[in-house]
Amino acid sequence: MTEFRYELLATDGKARLGRIHTAHGVIDTPAFMPVGTAATVKGMLPENVADTGAQILLGNTYHLMLRPGAERIARLGGLHKFMNWDKPILTDSGGYQVMSLSKLRKITEDGVTFKSHIDGRKFALSPERSMEIQHLLGSTITMAFDECTPFPATEQQAADSMRMSMRWAKRSKDAFVNREGYALYGIQQGSVFENLRRESSEKLTELDLPGHSVGGLAVGEGQQIMFDTLDFCVDMLPANKPRYLMGVGKPSDLVGAVMRGIDQFDCVLPTRSGRNAQGFTHRGTLNLKNGRHRDDDRPLDDQCNCPACTKYSRAYLHHLIKAGEILGAVLLTWHNLAYYQDLMADMRKAIAEGRMDAFARDFHAAQEGGDI
Ligand SMILES: COC(=O)c1ccc(CCNc2nc3cc4nc(N)[nH]c(=O)c4cc3[nH]2)cc1
Ligand SMILES: [Zn+2]
């Protein structure tokens, strides 16, 4: 059996090249985790997600507890078997999704009660119930149950929210069922306040957990404030364990956050925007709904080896999207996931070769190059 272990292989400034060993396989970091909210990466077969280079997926406690139910998935063999994905799965703990999706929420020290956004049924989540659900799912990496502090928040609001999340982190650890090769990650809060981020990090470090995430960002603060916060809050987390930035982000967010020491990412952007005709390329972002693509027989991205770019033209993608054809959403999702995995692979190579600064310069020059 494999024990959960983070291996730091190289650094380049604050950027890190690493490898996470888990019960379900290895994750090369920096890594992007495609979002598989309802036990599927929307529009993709799992084998094709793996073909893009993804070594770990994200699942959501909130969605799966509502439908089809955590006990049902456990009875059916767990989430890996249910969705036919045998590599690592990280599941978010539900607090963020309750606040962003459900109706009629009530927060107390014990946890949250809420009504399902699907059918209005009443549910409750607490650190203990979130740990139980993630255990029933068979998550490789379980996230502590926290509250994502809204932005903006006063320092007092951020302090109260962070301190509750730290009390919930302790309860999460006490309720977590430890299995070899599995892990519980703590979630740092504290909004944009350096002293609160430090207090949160000290509380989490006391719990001696195998990994941590930076929570409470990508909540509308914008890239500059996110980077300014990362400039001080990432180093507060133990350097010998993975650091995961939740909910991030667009390509330039990933480059900037890798350069500030982040090892793991997840975001709905590549998949959700792919279903909305947006294509990320090495030379910037395209919207394939735009009529200027109707006669363009070039590939979407001439540096990409995915099926959308090797077998089809921009004109064809434009046609599929205008016609509302399912294949349009499938091909753009597939491409965006391949683009994100290629970006992560290129950054891992750049860190290994000590040229992350040059990589970032070339990345930004190509993105702003125009005329795509
Ligand atoms: C097309 O693209 C989109 O629709 C889209 C939507 C939302 C985000 C931002 C997501 N941001 C975000 N997700 C998050 C998830 C989190 N989970 C926990 N447990 N704690 C947190 O503190 C937390 C913070 C987050 N911030 C990014 C993209
Ligand atoms: Zn492609």
The secondary structure of residue 35, as a DSSP letter, is B
What residues does ligand 1 touch, defined as CB less than 6 Å away?
92-93, 95-96, 143, 146, 148, 187, 215-216, 218-219, 246-247, 267-269, 272-273
Torsion of CA 232, 246, 363, 8, to 10 degrees: 70
DSSP state of 34: -
pLDDT (tens place) for every residue of the chain, 372 residues total: 799 999 999 999 999 999 999 999 999 999 999 999 999 999 999 999 999 999 999 999 999 999 999 999 999 999 999 999 999 999 999 999 999 999 889 999 999 999 999 999 999 999 999 999 999 999 999 999 999 999 999 999 999 999 999 999 999 999 999 999 999 999 999 999 999 999 999 999 999 999 999 999 999 999 999 999 999 999 999 999 999 999 999 999 999 999 999 999 999 999 999 999 999 999 999 999 999 999 999 999 999 999 999 999 999 999 999 999 999 999 999 999 999 999 999 999 999 999 999 999 999 999 998 889
Q: Are 259 and 235 in contact (CB under 8 A)?
A: no
pTM of the full predicted structure?
A: 0.99
Q: Best mutation site among 246, 264, 337, 340 for ligand 1, i.e. most ligand atoms within 8 A of its Cβ?
A: 246
Q: Is the Cβ–Cβ distance between 93 and 169 less than 8 Å?
A: no
Task: Based on the residue annotation, tell me whether 342 is a catalytic residue of this protein.
Answer: no
- Among this protein's residues, is 92 annotated catalytic? yes
Task: Return the ∠ at Cα 8 (arms to 243 and 11), rounded to 5°.
Answer: 90
Look at residues 37, 58, 57 and name the one whose alpha carbon lies nearest to residue 49: 57
Which tokens is 76 given?
A: 């059916």
Query: Catalytic: which of 12, 146, 253, 266?
Result: 266
CA of residue 291 to ligand 2 center, whole Å: 20
Q: How far is the CA of 32 from the centre of ligand 2 (A)?
A: 16
95 CA: nearest ligand 1 atom: 19
pLDDT at position 1 is 72
Nearest to residue 22, comparing CAs of 6, 39, 40?
Answer: 6
By DSSP bridging, strand 243-245 and strand 264-266 are parallel
pLDDT of 370 reads 83
Task: Provide Rg for the chain, Cα atoms.
Answer: 20
Q: Whose CA is nearest to atom 21 of ligand 1?
A: 215
Helix (H, G, I), strand (E, B) or coil at 220: coil
